[in-house]
Amino acid sequence: MSKTLRLILGDQLNAQHSWFESKSNNTLYVMMEILPETNYVKHHIQKVVAFFLAMRSFSENRREEGHQIKYFQLDDEDNQQCFGRNLSALIQSEKIERFEYLLPDEYRLDKQLREFSKSLSIPSEAIDTEHFLTKRTELTNFFKGKKTYLLESFYRDMRRQYDIMMEDNEPLTGKWNYDAENRNKYDPKVPIPSPPLFEREVTDIVQALDKLKVKTIGRIQAKKFTWAVTREEALKTLDFFVEKCLVHFGTFQDSMHKDEPFLFHSRLSFALNAKILHPLEVVRKAISHWQAHQDKIDIAQVEGFVRQIIGWREYMRGVYWAKMPEYATKNYFGHTQKLPEFYWTGETKMNCLSQAINQSLDNAYAHHIQRLMITGNFALLAGIDPDEVDAWYLGIYIDAIEWVEITNTRGMSQFADGGIVGTKPYTSSANYIDKMSNYCKNCFYDKKEKTTENACPFNSLYWNFYDRHRDKLSKNARIGMAYRNLDRMKPDDKANLLEKAKQYLENLDKL
């Protein structure tokens, strides 16, 4: 029988994959930690550690089940730090006659592995990861001929296809979407439960990264790495979420709080993106918990959660495969400013940015609204080059893998795709930030002021953004109000506002 080599990438940790249904002495699995993967962007130290821990425990578990696995640790002597070179060496030394790999979710790796396979003299095949609910091209076909890809129609189709919260092909409660009910400020009277933490020692990984001079960002406590990286831990985190957080998930989904980085969010994105958890098992667990506790948990909570996973997550992946590689070059507004230094240090007088960035540096995590309406909003208003914004988001978050990072960042948050993902840019002045958080209370800047010395930068930058992009945005029906307000301003007020924005834009690093 011919001997097969099967490659598993770091974000393909699906223990339920059909590959593992049977064992064979003629199948050798290979996993590797290599420098090009740690260095293609400057990653948060916790992100690299999380992937290595997850990969190592996945390989150990498969080995214990009786599968043959070759695992290259980053500092192993025989590690040639390259997929192609490590694979070729194994093909030769193990007399491999067939090569298989799981379809990568990143364009970069997809291309690399296709080219590697073509260069081989043995047969090769790419196999589905059996993780996503849609095929790569499904969204392209769904929206054929459309300029804007409306999430809502795709989401409804997913609900129907997978029979999720449906009755007779109609939404269970007669309504598809409860988004309007998910916009409350956090009420400190509602206690936030403490999530399960999985403390482990990670000194050896941190030392190996140092030894190989891998540059990282962010902070880590060597003995207190607490993210869920195994299936068992991920399932515990899921149980915790449905039992303790789901009840308030939708209500406080968009709120932000200076002392509460996680609020009622699930913290499941790493486990989902590394494929440790399957999206259907996650939504089914949430739905069955809701069904058993309908007296306590409102449908808006569970619908909001389900929409993120079977809607947004699948949708973003579909956009990625429909639009790459051009998507990575999109810059609709022609923004060219450099990302301010404080994105890397958290040192800024703007309390909202300081909180969101420092939480990110501490935890490799910020929740959706912090990413969209604080760091993303500011980068957009300040006209930062989307390449720099992308590199920051791709590096800093534990869950950042290009297919979901770039579509959220370049698309949803920077509108650099000119309106494929969103119908209008997500922007706001201090008003929205104050409505949804407790950041403004302790800020150096004054949320109410627009042009005075310590006026909140968001207020003038907001109007400057709409003023400078009038040609691109004024015809968008969803933004009409902003232009009507801008045009109603007294000429002197408007000039002062734009002058204030100019001063801030010239001194971004000092804000």
Q: Which of 156, 368, 435, 494 binds ligand FAD (CB under 6 A)?
A: 368
* 417 forms part of the interface with ligand FAD (CB under 6 A): no
Angle at 388 between CA 361 and CA 32, to 5 degrees: 65
User: Smaller CB distance to ligand FAD: residue 410 or 450?
Assistant: 410
Task: Quote the least distance from Cβ 227 to ligand FAD, whole Å.
Answer: 11
> Could you tell me how many helices (H) and strands (E) the chain has, helices first?
24, 9
Task: Quote the least distance from Cβ 370 to ligand SF4, whole Å.
Answer: 12
Q: Which of 5, 272, 302, 357 binds ligand FAD (CB under 6 A)?
A: 272
Region binding ligand FAD by CB under 6 A among candidate stretches 127-135, 152-160, 188-196, 399-407: 399-407
Partner from ligand FAD, ligand SF4, none contacting 139, C-beta within 5 to 8 A by type: none
* 412 forms part of the interface with ligand FAD (CB under 6 A): yes
User: Smaller CB distance to ligand FAD: residue 87 or 421?
Assistant: 421
User: How many CB atoms are located within 10 Å of the residue 190 CB?
Assistant: 12
Report the C-alpha gap between 387 and 285 in whole angstroms: 38
Residues comprising the chain, all counted? 511
Per residue, the 3-state secondary structure of 12-43, as one string, reads: CCCCCCHHHHCCCCCEEEEEECCHHHHHCCCE
Report the C-alpha gap between 46 and 366 in whole angstroms: 13
Look at residues 70, 75, 6 and name the one whose alpha carbon lies nearest to residue 35: 75
* Contact (CB, 8 A) for 43 and 24: no
Task: Quote the least distance from Cβ 372 to ligand FAD, whole Å.
Answer: 4
Q: Cβ neighbours of residue 181 under 8 Å, at least 6 residues apart?
A: 250, 251, 298, 300
Partner from ligand SF4, ligand FAD, none contacting 50, C-beta within 5 to 8 A by type: none
Report the C-alpha gap between 131 and 12 in whole angstroms: 9
Task: Quote the least distance from Cβ 407 to ligand FAD, whole Å.
Answer: 7
Partner from ligand SF4, ligand FAD, none contacting 359, C-beta within 5 to 8 A by type: none
User: How many CB atoms are located within 10 Å of the residue 307 CB?
Assistant: 24
Q: Which of 10, 104, 261, 376 binds ligand FAD (CB under 6 A)?
A: 376
Place of tokens 């400078």: 468
* 268 forms part of the interface with ligand FAD (CB under 6 A): yes
* Contact (CB, 8 A) for 256 and 374: yes
Q: DSSP class of residue 418?
A: S
Q: Which of 52, 342, 393, 504 binds ligand FAD (CB under 6 A)?
A: 393
Residues that bind ligand SF4 (CB under 6 A): 350-352, 430, 433-434, 439-440, 443, 445, 447, 456-458
Q: Which of 62, 265, 285, 500 binds ligand FAD (CB under 6 A)?
A: 265
User: Smaller CB distance to ligand FAD: residue 69 or 436?
Assistant: 436
Q: Give me the residues that bind ligand FAD (CB under 6 A), please.
A: 265-269, 272-273, 305, 308-309, 312-313, 316, 367-368, 371-372, 376, 393, 397, 399-400, 404-405, 408-409, 412-413
